[in-house]
Structure 1
Amino acid sequence: MRDDLVALPVVEIEVSRLSSAYSPRTSGEDPEHVETLLSAEGDLPPILVHRPTMQVIDGLHRLKAARLRGDSKILARLVDGTESDAFVLAVEANIRHGLPLSLTDRKHAAVQIIGTHPQWSDRRVASVTGISAGTVADLRRRGGENGNEARIGRDGRIRPVDGSEGRRLAAELIRSDPGLSLRQVAKQVGISPETVRDVRGRLERGESPTPDGSRRLQAKPQPLRWTEPDFGRVVDRDRLAMLERLKADPALRLTETGRTLLRMFAMHSIDGQEWGRVLHNVPPHLCSTVAGFAREHARVWAEFADRLDNRASDLAAG
């Protein structure tokens, strides 16, 4: 259960006041699971209840067990909000613990959430229901939902549904300056680094930057103006000096994870001549494979950097 829900106070509620209309389980309670709860020793965890309607959000089987035992009251946490948001909480809770929802139930839940939260992105709906974003998109299409011009993602950011314009701008930027990183292009254009990666790959294969099948560009694609990178600038004096300061910091130098991080930084802090030597000695038949590994490691480092930035912002705000 989410930390903010766990922090809610636990109260006793009369069993007779509760109902289970919000349950995403189309088949109702599972008798075997109820039997397991009946045989459990000690108190069961508090259920989650929507205060305005007294509908059970999470704890359908616990409520059933309490009724079979003849209990008049049950421990619960109360949440406020709309009925549609309460259903979302019910789905989230039932895919993360206890008896998991069936695939059919998760798809039914996704259809309902698409209807009540049409502004949510496919990925956000998928993260709640425990199915893939592709499956959510398929359910959305089957339901004839045209969608909004923009949707809200899992991170709360609003993104356009039609990303063709962003892809076109990214393609132009990549052609004009092939040396830009994925994150630099993404920041300037306003799309994700993964989308930029896809655009770059399509251009290298001579395809359209938009995912309209494998259709080739009608005109001969403009070649990427690749120039030999100046590896001499990869490690500058300021960064080398910063690395030395990090090596001297006891918070890193005297901890196992800190020493691991320092070794990782040191491995990437080779001079330009060494970078060039490594580049030109990669066997031709492994160039694409090594390039893929390099891009994946770059993606991991970028994600690592973003999470550190977020952590720094949270600490500053706190």
Structure 2
Amino acid sequence: MEDELGEEGVVPIAALLPADSPRIAGVDQEHLRSLAEAATPLPPILVHRSSMRVVDGMHRLEAAVLRGEHEIAVEFFDGSEQLAFLHAVRANLTHGLPLSRADREAATIRIITSHPDWSDRMIASSTGLSDKTVAAIRRRSTTQAVQVTARVGTDGRVRPLNSSEGRQRAAEIIAARPDASLREVARASGIALGTVRDVKERLRRGEDPVPVRRRPNGVPQSRMRVVEPPDPLETLQVLRRDPSLRFTDAGRHTLRWLDLHVISTGDWGGVVGGLPTHCTNVVADLARRCAAVWQELADELEQRDQFSA
């Protein structure tokens, strides 16, 4: 976005239009007075060249008016109005008076509408909210009219919304080009490197490339034989035999941590049977939260694998 910034100059204040500001409440009077009373010169404001609308710096503009000034230093922005608003949001996250939570949520709704193909993390990086908050806003937003099948991530890669489609595409590429590298398959199918590795391993075991939890209605999407995944405790035993884990401090710490947290299907039978009725909903909610944390860990590891491979 920095490439959209043009040269600086001085323009008449009367020639400027007010900002399409992300601030719901408008100008903060206390912050305005502090700027007007400051003895130091004000930094240039950012102005959309084609419309002469302020992009960033309404407080500085109003302060200049209070000082009795008729001209103001500006830096021109040459992008679209949508990009101008996006720049205003980002600028107000890094300097000046911070945007309120309500400001950032309102800005998120606008960006979802103007950039529906951006991922939750991409929008979160522009609005200062978490990607989970952006996802929640996207789900309840009624402003998104454009339906997209893929989104652009913070790394610039385009990924399908339906990961099962990407997995199927990866399986087809692997079948047609068995010598293709994981990175080539990931690039062609639009899924992460770690996901391609998982698809390839599932194919090697004769399983469907799409896990049951990711299939619509749990229906297999290929005619391949579906085999139950290994028990988590069996996987943990394999990890315990890995020298790179057994003989390093970090590896031993990881194994001890997994020993405390990995459970197998059915291991909770005694917990369920002995739990007081008034605690069941609380423990169920805790289990769901833990599952969400595990999923977040899996996504983080997969993302790390993508960049390290």
Identity %: 42
Alpha-carbon separation, structure 2, partners of 1:296 and 1:135 = 17
- 1:210 aligned to 207, 210, 214, which one? 214
Unaligned runs of 5+ in 1: 174-180, 228-272, 307-318
Deviation string 1:193-225 (CA, Å, 9 cap, x unpaired) is 56679999xx9xxx7352999x9x9x9843459
Equivalent residues of 1:199, 1:209 under 8 A apart? no
Greater relative contact order, per chain length (Cα 8 Å cut-off, separation 6+): 2
Alpha-carbon separation, structure 2, partners of 1:15 and 1:113 = 29
Q: How many correspondences in the alignment?
A: 246
CA 108–198 in structure 1, closer or farther in 2 if over 3 Å, else same: farther
CA 211–10 in structure 1, closer or farther in 2 if over 3 Å, else same: farther
Equivalent residues of 1:168, 1:210 under 8 A apart? no
- 1:222 aligned to 216, 228, 237, which one? 228
Equivalent residues of 1:121, 1:152 under 8 A apart? yes
Could you tell me how far 1:143 is from its partner in structure 2? Answer: 2.2
Could you tell me how far 1:276 is from its partner in structure 2? Answer: 8.5
Superposition map of 1:1-318 within 5 A? 4=3, 8-144=6-142, 145=144, 147-167=147-167, 186=186, 190-193=190-193, 208-210=212-214, 221-224=227-230, 275=244, 278=247, 282=252, 286=256, 288=258, 303=307, 305=308
CA 67–138 in structure 1, closer or farther in 2 if over 3 Å, else same: same
CA 212–104 in structure 1, closer or farther in 2 if over 3 Å, else same: farther
Alpha-carbon separation, structure 1, partners of 2:130 and 2:14 = 38
Q: Secondary structure at the match of 1:16?
A: helix
Unaligned runs of 5+ in 2: 174-180, 201-206, 236-241, 263-293
TM-score (norm 2): 0.62
Alpha-carbon separation, structure 2, partners of 1:296 and 1:120 = 19
Cα RMSD, aligned residues only: 4.7
Deviation string 1:74-107 (CA, Å, 9 cap, x unpaired) is 1110112222221111111111211110010111
Runs of 4+ with >6 A deviation? 168-173, 181-185, 196-200, 289-293, 295-299
Deviation string 1:1-58 (CA, Å, 9 cap, x unpaired) is x7546x7422001111112241111101111111221232321111100011111111
Q: Secondary structure at the match of 2:82?
A: helix
CA 222–105 in structure 1, closer or farther in 2 if over 3 Å, else same: same
Equivalent residues of 1:24, 1:105 under 8 A apart? yes
Deviation string 1:108-148 (CA, Å, 9 cap, x unpaired) is 11111111222222222211111122222222222243631
Could you tell me how far 1:66 is from its partner in structure 2? Answer: 0.3
